[in-house]
Amino acid sequence: MPIIYEPSGMAKEYSPYACNLYIGCSHCCKYCYAPHTLQRTENDYFGIPGPRRNMLNYLEQDMQKQPYRKQILLSFIGDVYCRNTDNNETTRVALQLLNQYGAPVAVLSKGGQKMLRDLDVFKSFGNRIMIGSTLTFLDTEKSTQWEPGAALPEERLETLKELHAAGIRTFASFEPVVEPA
Tell me, yes or no, whether 30 lies in a domain. yes
Tell me, yes or no, whether 181 lies in a domain. no
Tell me, yes or no, whether 10 lies in a domain. yes
Element (H, E) at 19: strand 17-19
Tell me, yes or no, whether 73 lies in a domain. yes
Which residue, 21, 18, 22, 19, is CA-closest to 10? 18
Tell me, yes or no, whether 100 lies in a domain. yes
Half-sphere exposure of 165 (CA within 13 A, CB side): 7
Q: Which domain holds residue 72?
A: 4-173
Phi, psi for 93 (deg, rounded to 5):
-65, -40
pLDDT of residue 1: 53
Tell me, yes or no, whether 127 lies in a domain. yes
The model's pLDDT over 64-117, given as tens digits with 9 standing for 90+, comes to 999 999 999 998 888 999 998 898 999 999 999 999 999 999 999 999 999 999
Q: At what angle do helices 89-100 and 55-65 cross, to 10 degrees?
A: 10
pTM over 0.85: yes
**Hey, what's the torsion of the CAs at 147, 92, 50, 68, to 10 degrees?**
90
Tell me, yes or no, whether 178 lies in a domain. no
Q: How many other CB atoms are found less than 10 A from the CB of residue 33?
A: 12
> Mean pLDDT across the stretch 153-174?
97
Domain count of the fold of the chain: 1
**Does position 58 have pLDDT exceeding 60, yes or no?**
yes
Question: What CATH number does the domain containing 70 carry?
Answer: 3.20.20.70
Which residue, 75, 86, 81, is CA-closest to 27? 81
Element (H, E) at 58: helix 55-65
Which residue, 99, 111, 102, is CA-closest to 22? 111
Tell me, yes or no, whether 179 lies in a domain. no
